[in-house]
A and B are shown apart, each in its own frame.
Chain A
Amino acid sequence: MVDLGRRDFLRILGMAGAATAATGCSEPTRKLIPYIIPPEDIIPGEANWYATTCRECPAGCGLLAKNRDGRVIKVEGNPLHPVSGGKLCARGQASLHGLYNPDRFTGPLKRNERGGFDPVSWDAGERLLVQRLKEIVAGGRGERIVFVSELVTGSMKDLIDLWVKEMGNPAGHILYEPFAYEPLRKANEIVFGYDGIPAYRIDQADFIISFGAGFLETWLSNIEYARQYAAFHTLSASGRNPFVYVGPRLSMTGNNADLWIPVAPGEEYLIGLGMLRVILDENLCANMPGETKNKLGAMASPWTLEAITARTGVDPDLIHQVARRFAGAKRPLALAEGLSLSGPHATETAVAANLLCAVHPGSQAAIDSAGRSAYSDVARADTIKELTEKMKRGEIELLLIHEANPAFSLPLSWDFRKSLESVPLVVSFSSAIDETGAFAHLVLPTHTPLESWGDYSPRAGVTGLMQPVMGTLFDTKHLGDVLIGSGKAARGGERFPWKDFHEVLQSSWTRRQQTMAPDIPFEAFWEKAVETGGVWETGIAGTAGIPVRLSPFAFPTPNEDVRPETGLHFTTYPSVLFFDGRQANRMWLQEIPDPLTMITWDGWVEIHQETAEKLGIRRGDMLLIKSPYGRLEAPAIPIPTVPAGTVAMPMGQGHTNFGRYANERPANPMLLFSSDLDPATGGILRPAFGVTLEKTGKTMSLAHVDGSFSQHGRGLMRVMAFDDYGKAIASKLEPEIDYPMPEGFDPEKDFYPAHSHKDYRWVMIVDLDRCIGCSACVVACYAENNVAVVGKEQMVKGREMSWLRIQRYFDDDKPIARWLPMLCQHCDCAPCESVCPVYAPHHSKEGLNNQVYNRCFGTRFCLQNDPYKVRRFNWFTFTRPKTLEWQLNPDVTVRGKGVMEKCSFCIQRIIEAKSKARNEGRKLVEDGEFTTACAQTCPANVFTFGNLLDPNSRASRLIQDPRAYQVLGNLNTKPAVIYLKRVTKPLEV
Chain B
Amino acid sequence: MNEMSYNEVTRAIIRPMGSAGTFYKCVVAFWFLGIVVGGSCWGYQISQGLGVAGVKNPIAWGTYLINFVFWVGIAHSGTLISAILYLFRAKWRTAISRAAEAMTIFAVMTAGLFPLIHLGRVWLVYWILPYPNQRNLWPDFQSPLVFDVIAISTYLTVSTLFWYTGLIPDLAAVRDQSTGWRRKIYGILSLNWMGAHYQWHHYGSAYLFFAALATPLVISVHSVVSWDFALSIMPGWHSTIFAPYFVAGAIHSGLAMVLVLLIPLRTLYRFENIISMNTLENIAKTIIFTGFIMSYSYGTEHFIAWYSGGVEQDSFMWRMTGHYAWEFWVMLFCNSIVPLFYFFKKLRTNVYSLFVIGLLVDIGMWYERFVIIAGAPAHAHDPFMWRVYSPTIIEYGIMFGSFSLFFFLFFLFAKYLPAVSIAEVKEEAPRPLRRRTA
Binding site for B on A (CB under 8 A): 705-708, 710-712, 714, 716, 794, 797-800, 807-809, 820, 822, 831, 834-839, 855-861, 863-865, 867-869, 871-877, 897-900, 968, 971
The chain A residue sitting closest to B54, CB to CB, is A797
CB distance from A877 to the nearest CB of B (A): 6
Segment 309-333 of B: residues with Cβ below 8 Å from A: 310-311, 314
The answer to whether A711 and B383 touch (CB under 8 A), given A857-B125, A876-B48, is yes
**Cα of A712 to Cα of B231 in the assembled complex, Å:** 26
The answer to whether A867 and B139 touch (CB under 8 A), given A714-B311, A873-B120, A875-B49, is no
Chain A residues with CB under 8 Å of B57's CB are: 798-800, 863, 869, 871-873
CB distance from B289 to the nearest CB of A (A): 32
Chain B residues with CB under 8 Å of A708's CB are: 383-384, 386
The answer to whether A710 and B120 touch (CB under 8 A), given A839-B140, A857-B127, is no
- Among candidates B49, B145, B149, B382, residue contacting A861 with C-beta atoms closer than 8 Å: B145
The 4 closest A-B pairs by CB, nearest first: A858-B120, A898-B120, A875-B51, A707-B386
- Among candidates B48, B50, B140, B385, residue contacting A834 with C-beta atoms closer than 8 Å: B140
CB distance from A854 to the nearest CB of B (A): 9
* CB pair B233 A869 closer than 8 Å: no
Residue B196 is within 8 A (CB to CB) of chain A in the complex: no
* CB pair B140 A838 closer than 8 Å: yes
Chain A residues with CB under 8 Å of B56's CB are: 797-799, 875
* CB pair B384 A809 closer than 8 Å: yes
Chain B residues with CB under 8 Å of A873's CB are: 50, 57, 60, 120
* CB pair B142 A877 closer than 8 Å: no
Interface of B is mostly: loop
Residue B415 is within 8 A (CB to CB) of chain A in the complex: no
- Among candidates A707, A822, A861, A876, residue contacting B387 with C-beta atoms closer than 8 Å: A707
* CB pair B122 A897 closer than 8 Å: no
* CB pair B386 A856 closer than 8 Å: no
CB distance from B187 to the nearest CB of A (A): 28
CB distance from B100 to the nearest CB of A (A): 31
The answer to whether A869 and B50 touch (CB under 8 A), given A857-B125, A899-B121, is no
Residue B16 is within 8 A (CB to CB) of chain A in the complex: no
Contact with A along B225-264 (1 / 0, CB 8 A): 0001001111000000000000000000000000000000
**Cα of A799 to Cα of B58 in the assembled complex, Å:** 9
A714-B310, A875-B55 given. 7 additional CB < 8 A pairs?
A714-B383, A800-B57, A859-B120, A860-B120, A868-B381, A874-B120, A875-B56
**Cα of A306 to Cα of B334 in the assembled complex, Å:** 67
**Cα of A858 to Cα of B124 in the assembled complex, Å:** 10
Chain B residues with CB under 8 Å of A834's CB are: 140, 142-143
The answer to whether A859 and B118 touch (CB under 8 A), given A714-B311, A800-B57, is yes
Chain B residues with CB under 8 Å of A716's CB are: 382-384
A and B contact pairs by CB, cutoff 8 A, 20 listed: A712-B383, A798-B56, A798-B57, A799-B56, A835-B231, A838-B127, A839-B138, A839-B140, A858-B121, A859-B120, A859-B145, A860-B55, A860-B60, A863-B60, A864-B60, A868-B381, A873-B60, A875-B50, A876-B51, A899-B120
Contact with A along B41-73 (1 / 0, CB 8 A): 000000011110011111011000000000000
* CB pair B231 A863 closer than 8 Å: no
* CB pair B385 A707 closer than 8 Å: yes
**Cα of A684 to Cα of B404 in the assembled complex, Å:** 69
The chain A residue sitting closest to B383, CB to CB, is A708
Contact with A along B263-299 (1 / 0, CB 8 A): 0000000000000000000000000000000000000
Residue B212 is within 8 A (CB to CB) of chain A in the complex: no
The answer to whether A858 and B50 touch (CB under 8 A), given A898-B120, A968-B381, is yes
| Count, A-B residue pairs, CB within 8 A | 160
The chain A residue sitting closest to B123, CB to CB, is A857
Residue B380 is within 8 A (CB to CB) of chain A in the complex: yes
The chain A residue sitting closest to B140, CB to CB, is A839
Residue B78 is within 8 A (CB to CB) of chain A in the complex: no
* CB pair B139 A838 closer than 8 Å: yes
Interface centre among A864, A873, A897 (most CB of B within 10 A): A864
**Cα of A490 to Cα of B139 in the assembled complex, Å:** 75
* CB pair B61 A860 closer than 8 Å: yes
Residue B17 is within 8 A (CB to CB) of chain A in the complex: no
Chain B residues with CB under 8 Å of A712's CB are: 314, 383
**Cα of A858 to Cα of B51 in the assembled complex, Å:** 12
CB distance from A794 to the nearest CB of B (A): 7
* CB pair A868 B61 closer than 8 Å: no
* CB pair B119 A864 closer than 8 Å: no
Interface size on B, residues (CB 8 A): 48
Segment 357-408 of B: residues with Cβ below 8 Å from A: 377, 380-387
Chain B residues with CB under 8 Å of A799's CB are: 51, 56-57
Chain B residues with CB under 8 Å of A838's CB are: 127-128, 137, 139-140
Chain B residues with CB under 8 Å of A861's CB are: 143-145, 228, 232
CB distance from A817 to the nearest CB of B (A): 12
Chain B residues with CB under 8 Å of A855's CB are: 127, 137
Chain B residues with CB under 8 Å of A872's CB are: 57
The answer to whether A706 and B120 touch (CB under 8 A), given A864-B377, A865-B234, is no
**Cα of A367 to Cα of B304 in the assembled complex, Å:** 62
Chain A residues with CB under 8 Å of B382's CB are: 707, 714, 716, 807, 867-869, 968
The chain A residue sitting closest to B384, CB to CB, is A807
The chain B residue sitting closest to A712, CB to CB, is B383
Contact with A along B391-433 (1 / 0, CB 8 A): 0000000000000000000000000000000000000000000
**Cα of A219 to Cα of B127 in the assembled complex, Å:** 55
Chain A residues with CB under 8 Å of B219's CB are: none
The answer to whether A869 and B48 touch (CB under 8 A), given A837-B128, A857-B124, A897-B120, is no
Interface centre among A794, A838, A971 (most CB of B within 10 A): A838
* CB pair A856 B121 closer than 8 Å: yes
* CB pair A859 B119 closer than 8 Å: yes
**Cα of A855 to Cα of B146 in the assembled complex, Å:** 15
CB distance from B345 to the nearest CB of A (A): 45
Interface centre among B228, B382, B383 (most CB of A within 10 A): B382
Chain A residues with CB under 8 Å of B311's CB are: 714
Chain A residues with CB under 8 Å of B120's CB are: 856-860, 873-874, 897-900
**Cα of A875 to Cα of B383 in the assembled complex, Å:** 23
Chain A residues with CB under 8 Å of B381's CB are: 714, 867-868, 968, 971
* CB pair A858 B119 closer than 8 Å: yes
The chain A residue sitting closest to B119, CB to CB, is A858
The chain A residue sitting closest to B234, CB to CB, is A864
* CB pair B49 A898 closer than 8 Å: yes
Interface centre among A707, A710, A807 (most CB of B within 10 A): A707
* CB pair A835 B58 closer than 8 Å: no
Chain A residues with CB under 8 Å of B142's CB are: 834-835
**Cα of A705 to Cα of B56 in the assembled complex, Å:** 12
The chain A residue sitting closest to B142, CB to CB, is A834
* CB pair B49 A874 closer than 8 Å: yes
Chain A residues with CB under 8 Å of B310's CB are: 714
Chain B residues with CB under 8 Å of A808's CB are: 384
CB distance from A498 to the nearest CB of B (A): 55
**Cα of A898 to Cα of B116 in the assembled complex, Å:** 12
- Among candidates B122, B231, B377, B384, residue contacting A857 with C-beta atoms closer than 8 Å: B122
Interface centre among B128, B380, B384, B385 (most CB of A within 10 A): B384
**Cα of A868 to Cα of B115 in the assembled complex, Å:** 25
CB distance from B376 to the nearest CB of A (A): 9
**Cα of A531 to Cα of B140 in the assembled complex, Å:** 52
CB distance from A364 to the nearest CB of B (A): 44
Chain B residues with CB under 8 Å of A820's CB are: 384
**Cα of A714 to Cα of B119 in the assembled complex, Å:** 33
The answer to whether A898 and B50 touch (CB under 8 A), given A837-B140, A857-B119, is yes
**Cα of A707 to Cα of B383 in the assembled complex, Å:** 6
**Cα of A208 to Cα of B61 in the assembled complex, Å:** 50
Interface centre among B50, B115, B119, B385 (most CB of A within 10 A): B385
Chain A residues with CB under 8 Å of B138's CB are: 839
**Cα of A858 to Cα of B234 in the assembled complex, Å:** 19
Chain B residues with CB under 8 Å of A705's CB are: 384
